[in-house]
Amino acid sequence: MLYGMRRFSALAIAATVVLSACSSSATPSPAATPASTTGNCVTGSITAAGSTALQPLVQAAATNYGKACPGATVTVNGGGSGTGLSQVAQGAIQIGDSDVTAQSKLATPLPADSLVDHIVARQGWIVVTNKDVTGVTNLTTQQNVDIWTGKDTNWNQVGGPDLPIVLIFRPASSGTRSTFKKLVLNNAVEATGGQTLTEDSNGAVTTAVTTTDGAVSVIGFAYYNDPANKPLLNGLQLDGVDATVANMASSTYKLAADGHMYTNGQPSGLTAAFLAYMLGPDVQGTLIPSLFYAPVVH
Amino acid sequence: MAQLTNTYRATGLRAAPSLRQRIDLPRRVVFGAAASMIFIVVLLLAFITWQGLQLFIKDGVSIGQILSPTWQPDSTSPNLSFGLLPFIAGTVYVTALALLISTPVSVGLALFLSEVAPGWARAIVQPALEIFVGIPSVVWGWLGITILVPFLSHTFHGGMVLSLPIAGDVFRVPGFLTGFSWLAGSLVLSIMIVPTITSVSYDAFRAVPQELRTGSLALGTTRWQTIRHLLIPSALTGVLTAIVLGMTRAAGEALAVQMVIGNSPSMPAAITQPVTTLTSQITLDMGNTVFGEPWQDALWTMSLVLLVISISSVVLVRVINKRRMGA
């Protein structure tokens, strides 16, 4: 019995030592590790988090940067624009990704003043419907307002089949929804109730539109142009303008917005180097067009 | 002698710990574990309560507004309103229907396992239930969205009507516009809570002394009469505990429900219509709102409501069990 006790306490102590050893070596420090410059590459590790619309681009760029500069680690997380902005304002991460400006999101007690905006790309969204909505290839701004506020409830009111319209929203707090509401709906109050659904992500929206008769929603270009999704969806013109990267770049397609990467104060070290890489030819010239964003630097 | 003692010290060996020391150390470790657990729970309760009350303290929202059905949390909205009633009602309705579907099945299964099943059947069903518990909720939600939702939408598109030949249509529910609905959420939840209710009820039935069963059968009752008049009354408190635990599990589930109920922030109208719940609204909005803004404060208030629901059910289980002890 006593022997057992002694063994137990020895084990407990050993376990404590092992645990503390693990935590000191394995847990990454939340602050950026000191960066040292080696040629054009800067070593160290930083975290970027926030917008899921911008995430595919930032993730791909971070992977490429890590390959080019083996000593650098850029960790990319989602979480939503609000999370990105509040975490970068609190200093928990180095870069906050957002679909919307910090001024429109951050009020007291987190001042937006100390945040520095870096616009890295333009991103576009497209209105999509279920395949059974035949004969509708274009919606005007006014038709969109009538549909999304619940004034029109059947596709035959906009030249389609006799089929009830099912509205699939993103959450009211999402960057996609607030951008669509501002640019297309002119801040009209959207419908609620029986014919409306809310889905969490671009992926969930795509699934819901493909499986629901008469469904309409708004998704990012990158998701619409995914070969796995495109044959399952009807992509619509907006005011007669095709939803293409070229039309978005020339500003003739209006459902588009800047993708922001915010830093707390002027960036330095790896953060500055990574943002410079985002605006450099590798990302702006090659990566951005391949992922259906539009470059901001030519 | 003095020489010897010094040598003994110099080797780094120390005197064996006393009996008291040997017993005290593990006791301290165990006590420390228990104390830190309690400390974390208290801290969590205090934090959620504090955050949940910010909506009233800092943002000046009244209790009356919280109980309104209008959810317009967007600061650009012309009539800003933080009505949580659609979410509270959604959670209550979806959970209630899930319990209604799941309880008879689960209690029946528990009775089968404890009273009827031959050994080999029990040997199959029990591991199956354990596997059930281990299936992640995202898998249930995924099955729901790919199989259940399209099935409901296509099968009951025209509406569900229950008619009696004399009275005409006595019950009419609008058809599914989409399969995303209150019913879909309740069906997915009812499957998820089967293991909880079954295993706790099973224990309650097994706890009824064997002598009572044999005594009852010796009096010439059938097996059904024994179950109906002896087992169910004796195990009733245990079965009620099982139902409350199932309810807590259902009310707290977020992911699987969110995937199939449609998340429409309006009052539940019919089982064929999309609804929303406290948990699904929190997961939808938390990433997109900013710490400290009224919108996120409202989400914390929803967490507080959920916490109150779960604490109430813990208290309810305690009261039920105390009455069993007293009886």
Of B265, B284, B290, the CB nearest to A85: B290
pLDDT tens figures, B65-89: 888 888 888 777 777 889 999 999 9
Contact criterion met (CB < 8 Å) for B153 and A213: yes
Kindly report each contact of residues B109-112 with a partner whose C-beta sits within 8 Å and lies 24 or more positions away, as own/partner.
B109/B194, B109/B198, B110/B197, B110/B198, B110/B199, B110/B201, B110/B202, B110/B204, B110/B205, B110/B239, B110/B242, B111/B201, B111/B205, B111/B227, B111/B231
User: What's residue A27's pLDDT?
Assistant: 35
Chain A: residue nearest B25 by CA? A9
Q: Please report which helix (H) or strand (E) contains residue B171, including its range.
A: strand B168-173
Q: What is the average pLDDT value for chain B, to the nearest integer?
A: 85
Q: How many residues does chain B have?
A: 327
Tokens 């919307």, residue located: A100
How distant, in Å, are the alpha carbons of A49, A157, A184, A264, B14 from that of A33? 17, 59, 43, 16, 43
How distant, in Å, are the alpha carbons of A84, A112, B184 from that of A80? 6, 17, 27
Local structure of residue A166 (DSSP, 8 states): E
Same fold, A43-122+258-290 and A123-249: yes
Domain range annotation of chain A: 43-122+258-290, 123-249
Tell me the nearest-neighbour CA distance from B206 into chain A, angstroms.
Answer: 35
Contact criterion met (CB < 8 Å) for B262 and A106: no
Count of alpha carbons within 13 angstroms of residue B153, beta-carbon side: 24
* % of chain B residues with pLDDT over 70: 88
CA–CA distance, B124 with B122 (Å, rounded to integer): 5
Chain B: residue nearest A88 by CA? B290
CATH, domain range A123-249: 3.40.190.10
How distant, in Å, are the alpha carbons of A80, A259, A264, A265, B12 from that of A112? 17, 17, 9, 11, 61
| Tally of CB atoms within 10 A around A52 | 24
Indicate if the pLDDT at residue B97 is higher than 60.
Answer: yes
Is 3.40.190.10 the CATH number for A43-122+258-290?
Answer: yes
Instruction: Determine the 3-state secondary structure of B206 from DSSP.
Output: helix
Burial A102-140 (b: 16+ CB within 10 A, else e): bebbbeeebebeebeebebbbbbbbbbbbeebeebeebe
Count of alpha carbons within 13 angstroms of residue A80, beta-carbon side: 23
Instruction: Determine the 3-state secondary structure of A175 from DSSP.
Output: helix
User: Residues near A32 by Cβ (< 8 Å), separated by ≥ 6?
Assistant: A44, A45, A46, A94, A269, A270, A271
Q: Which of residues 196-255 of B touch A (CB under 8 A)?
A: none
CA–CA distance, B31 with B34 (Å, rounded to integer): 5
pLDDT tens figures, A141-192: 999 999 999 999 999 999 999 999 999 999 888 888 888 998 999 888 888 8
Instruction: Say yes or no: B85 contacts chain A, CB-CB below 8 A.
Output: no
pLDDT tens figures, B286-313: 877 877 788 889 999 999 999 999 899 8
Contact criterion met (CB < 8 Å) for B262 and A108: no
CB B86 within 8 A of CB B71: yes
User: What's residue A16's pLDDT?
Assistant: 39
CA–CA distance, B140 with B191 (Å, rounded to integer): 9
- Prior bond to A109 cis, omega within 30? yes
CA–CA distance, A205 with A174 (Å, rounded to integer): 13
User: What's residue A171's pLDDT?
Assistant: 86
CB B212 within 8 A of CB B230: yes
User: What's residue A18's pLDDT?
Assistant: 39
CA–CA distance, B101 with A104 (Å, rounded to integer): 46
Chain A: residue nearest B33 by CA? A12
CA–CA distance, B273 with A215 (Å, rounded to integer): 15
Question: Could you tell me the domains of chain B?
Answer: 84-326 (1.10.3720.10)
CA–CA distance, B155 with B40 (Å, rounded to integer): 49
What residues of chain A score a pLDDT lower than 70?
A: 1-40, 106-113
Of A82, A197, A207, the CB nearest to B289: A82
CA–CA distance, B177 with B272 (Å, rounded to integer): 8
Chain B: residue nearest A77 by CA? B287
pLDDT tens figures, B310-325: 899 889 888 888 876 6
| Tally of CB atoms within 10 A around B138 | 11
Contacts of A53 in chain B (CB under 8 A): none
